Amino acid sequence: MLEILRKTNIDFMGQRKWAFLFSGIMVVLGIVALVQIARGSANLGIDFSGGTAVQLKFDQAIRIDEARKALEANGLDNAELQEFGQENKLLIRLKTSTTIEEKVADRVVAVFTKEFSSNHFVIDSSTEIGPTIGQKLQEDALIAIIISFAGIVLYVAARFELRFGIAAAVATFHDVLAVLGAFYILDKEITLLVVTALLTLAGYSMTDTVVVFDRIRENLRMRRRESEETIINNAVNQVLSRTIVTSLTVVLVLIPLTLAGGEVLHDFSLALLWGVIFGTYSSVFVASPLLMLWPGGSGRLLKRS
Amino acid sequence: MKKVGGRLTLLALVVVMSVIFFLPSYPPLYHALPDLLKRVMPNKGITLGLDLQGGIHLVMEVDEDRAVEIAVDRSVASLQDQLVDKKIPVESVTRTGPTQVTIQFQNGDLKAQIQKMIDDYPTFSETESAGSANRLVWELREAEAKRIKDSAINQALETIRNRIDQFGVTEPIVQRQGLKQIVVQLPGVKEPKRARDLIKETALLEFKMLDEDNQSRLDLPARIPKDKEQEVLNQAEAKIPAGDQILFERGVDKDTGREYRIPYLVKKRVMLTGDVLSDARVSIGQFNDPYVSITFDSKGGREFERITGDNIKKRMAIVLDNTIYSAPVIQDRITGGHAQITGTFSMQEANDLAIVLRAGALPAPLKIIQDLTVGPSLGKDSIEKGVQATLFAGAMVVVFMIVYYRLSGVIADFALVLNLLCLIGALSALNATLTLPGIAGIVLTIGMGVDSNVLIFERIREELRLGKAVRLAVDGGYDKALLTIVDSHVTTLITGVALFLFGTGPIKGFAVTLCLGIGINLFTALIGTKVIFDLLNQRHKVEQLSI
């Protein structure tokens, strides 16, 4: 039997002060990011903010500063440029949206055709999104997130106790905020695909937490005489090897996707990768200790056994 | 000992069904099948989303207010004609607001006579005219404005559908979204710009007379470079007679290949519109230059004959979307209902023009509010890299499970493959569209599938450590992991359902794969692998489990 961990007996609950401190910082970061998004000053992808993005694939290498100069000379200021290394790909993003008379994407293409006539290119993709659509997308995403959280709290509360439901929801929210905060600090663009990744990791983190809670519930029923702290600690230790093996397999999937999955999948996989790490950490260090903050008064779980 | 026969049959059935549904999604294999088989099998599988195969996704809004204005303008023109016919001298009939028409006249005695003409325009009502003796104001009824707006979107939808059908795209989607939006999806289009222009072109064809008498007074430049139109308009603005406008003819210099414009003074009155066309085709002229020959329907043919007969030796402009294509001199009365639109076209431009003329004009301009265009190369890159990375990642997991759990790991890998197969089969059966977020959903469910097996195996190990016999340990492991697996899956399912109900576009695609994957996971984890363990136990007395 190959084992990563033998029987462990780590005092996770004893470390909860440090965990809460670290998590608190991450959550604050995430909230700052959230506020900045609401204020419109975060690096929102054009699918949310509205605007134009054109990705060009050149035959020869192109220098960003020259590209920027060419755009500015033709009245396209404030373009954000990003290049994708070896493949001579250039992503041009503008937060101005197209009017009926004039397509911004066509203008961008015209500029490059004119200014870099010797360097042939093809259009990889072009995206134009009106401001009203972005607004609606933001609202829809928000509603979906609120509803799903409410649903999960209710389900876990019904299957366990209310405090379990709330702790699971808080831990999951913590993971989402932490990744969002990390994206904000690194000034990474928050696109619809990144939001999808956040939702995926919410699902993943929830699963992880429920698995630990399940064991806590089981132990609560079996060992009534021990203190709650011991019971929770034991439960976390018992499922520890499962937690690590599972996370390891998911990380095994995500590392190649992040490194070699292509530019479209890169940010998505990166968000998921961080999410898995935070999710694993939070089910051990956040969700379970949260139960300690709110000791089970009703004892409903015990009665049902 | 539990019976395994029933469960094994179920498992085999699921696998066979999945393969059958999946086959059409993989053309090389599907086409190799004998025709007899193809006839009884489903013929449609997974469609790749635009982000994966390239193409255009457009969301457009019909400019409804403009549609109403256009309708009012038509009434104005028709009223003008009627007034001329009845020989009632009025000073002007103009649209003075979005839905308002004002009729000015010198002779106050005419008021009652003009007032009566509203009987011919039941969609208008008279307002605030009492105070003035020389003026009548008509207002379009609100119900009619609403009807025009409503029909504008349906008409636009119909027109766009016609145009795309003729353009030839496989599996286009043209749909109404909400009250006034139109969604168009053209997968795999190689020339996105051309397709977009074809959709967006209003294609309002009009025949108008040149105002040659007044043109000389304006001393318009003979030929101007493209983009200088506004300057000409600004200069001439004050001198343009009422009821006239300046339009530009488009031309291309044969030597330099540069586009130029020729300004003309044109009477605003529309003699004939493209409504009366019955056909439009591309023909080749004597100098090998393509032109579009149009055929009028019988009513249009008679009209055209009358107009040309009345205007011999005068010049008539053929105007498409406010650009003059040609302005020939009418040599003779034209009978037979045919006409030609010449101009400096490339073959492709002439082709596209014929398409939009056949499909009809849009009731109003379209506003593109979302435009996602993915070039075929990026889509291909995404797929190739994504698939390679996923395969590599999958291989690592498969190897890891075998190293860590030995024979049981092989069983888990079997579950993984089963999972993937069922998921793809289910997606094919639903004819789902696979997008990048959809792939994300698959990755998540695969992860959950592995997790379920890990949970079960860790539980079995615990039971074995307690010294239980293999069969009891396996049963115990499954029993104890069951609740955990159900709980974790249901919570994720809640997320999936919420995302499906409230998410839009790509998020919805993610939700579909997630919800399907969860159901399939439960099946493979609780039935798929268990039956293998039971089979092992039944055939051989397993003393030691390789786990």
Retrieve residue B358's tokens: 């056949």
Higher pLDDT: B444 or B528? It is B528
Determine whether the interchain pair A127/B371 forms a contact, defined as Cβ–Cβ distance below 8 Å.
yes
Contacts of A157 (CB under 8 A, 6+ apart): A164, A165, A166
Cα-only R_g, chain B? 35
Measure in Å the smallest separation between the Cα of B454 and chain A Cα atoms: 6
Q: What would the pLDDT profile of A254-305 be if each residue is shown by its tens digit?
A: 888 888 877 777 888 899 899 999 999 998 899 888 888 876 654 555 554 4
Overall CATH class of domain A51-129: alpha beta
The three-state DSSP-derived secondary structure of B448-485 is HHHHHHHHHHHHHHHHHHCCCCHHHHHHHHHHHHHHHH
CA atoms within 13 A on the CB side of B426: 18
Chain centre distance of CA B393: 36
Does the pLDDT of residue A179 top 90, yes or no?
A: yes
Confidence (pLDDT) at A203 = 80
Q: What are the tokens at B196?
A: 């977009």
With 60 as the cut, is the pLDDT of residue A97 above it? Answer: no
- Which of the 8 DSSP states describes residue B241? P
> Residue A55: CB partners within 8 Å, gap ≥ 6?
A89, A90, A91, A92, A123, A124, A125, A126, B378
3-state SS, B254-318, equals CCCCCEEEEEEEEEEEEEEEHHHEEEEEEEECCCCCEEEEEEECHHHHHHHHHHHHHCCCCEEEE
Q: Write out chain B residues lying below 8 Å of A105, CB-based.
A: 371, 373
Measured between CA atoms, how close is B491 to chain A, in angstroms? 6
pLDDT tens digit sequence for B206-225:
889 999 888 888 878 888 88
- Third-level CATH fold of B5-50+376-539: Multidrug efflux transporter AcrB transmembrane fold (1.20.1640)
Closest residue in B to A146 (Cα) is B498
Name the E strands within chain A: 51-58, 80-84, 89-94, 121-129
Of B373, B384, B444, the CB nearest to A126: B373
Q: Please tell me which of the candidates B393, B440, B458 has its beta carbon nearest to residue A242.
A: B458
Mean of the per-residue pLDDT values of chain B: 84
How far is CA B286 from each of CA A54, B252, B289, B325, rounded to the nearest angstrom? 42, 18, 7, 18
Write down the pLDDT at residue B131.
65
According to the model, what pLDDT value does residue A25 have? 92
- The CATH class for the domain spanning B65-144 reads alpha beta
B187: pLDDT strictly greater than 90: no
Burial of B435 (0-12, 13-18, 19+ CB in 10 A): buried
Token look-up 């972005």 returns: A134
Mean pLDDT of B28-54: 78
Residue A187, φ and ψ in degrees, nearest 5: 55, 40
State how far the Cα of B253 lies from the Cα of B497, in Å rounded to an integer: 61
- The predicted-structure confidence for B306-341, as pLDDT tens digits, reads as follows 999 999 999 999 888 888 888 888 888 988 888 888
- A-chain residue closest to B514, CA distance: A200
What are residue A80's DSSP bridge partners? A93
Question: In sequence order, what are the beta bridge partners of A201?
Answer: none
Segments making up each domain of chain B, as ranges: 5-50+376-539, 65-144, 206-331
Interchain pair B365, A268: CB under 8 A? no
CB B182 within 8 A of CB B59: yes
Backbone region of residue B219 per phi and psi (left: phi > 0; alpha: psi in -120 to 50; beta: other values)? left
Subunit contact B370:A255, Cβ cutoff 8 A? no
Domains A13-44+133-304 and A51-129 share a fold: no
pLDDT at B279: 87
Lowest mean per-residue pLDDT among A48-52, B7-11, B315-319? A48-52
Chain B residues lying within 8 Å of A127, measured CB to CB: 371-373
A residues 226..245 contacting B (CB < 8 A): 238-239, 241-242, 245
| Predicted model pTM | 0.72
Q: Give me the half-sphere count of Cα atoms (radius 13 Å) on the Cβ side of residue A286.
A: 31
Nearest to A214 among B396, B483, B504 (CB): B483
pLDDT of residue B210: 93
Size of interface A-B (CB pairs under 8 A): 234
Q: What ipTM did this prediction achieve?
A: 0.79
pLDDT, one tens digit per residue, over B437-463 is: 787 778 778 877 888 898 899 899 989
**Residue of B57, B371, B459 to mutate, testing the A interface (most A Cβ within 10 Å of its Cβ):** B371
Q: How far is A281 from chain B (nearest CA, A)?
A: 16
Share the mean pLDDT of chain A.
82
Q: What are the sequence ranges of the domains in chain A?
A: 13-44+133-304, 51-129
d(CA B523, CA A276): 25
> Which of B72, B348, B335, B41 is closest to B193 using CA atoms?
B348
Residues of A in contact with B506 (CB under 8 A): 192-193, 196
- CATH label, A13-44+133-304, candidates 1.20.1530.20, 3.30.1050.10, 2.60.40.1180, 1.20.1640.10: 1.20.1640.10
Residue B251 β-bridge partners: B260
- State the pLDDT at residue B535: 85
* Fold (CATH) for B206-331: Gyrase A; domain 2 (3.30.1360)
On whether any CB of chain B is under 8 Å from the CB of A96, the answer is no
* pLDDT mean over A49-61: 84
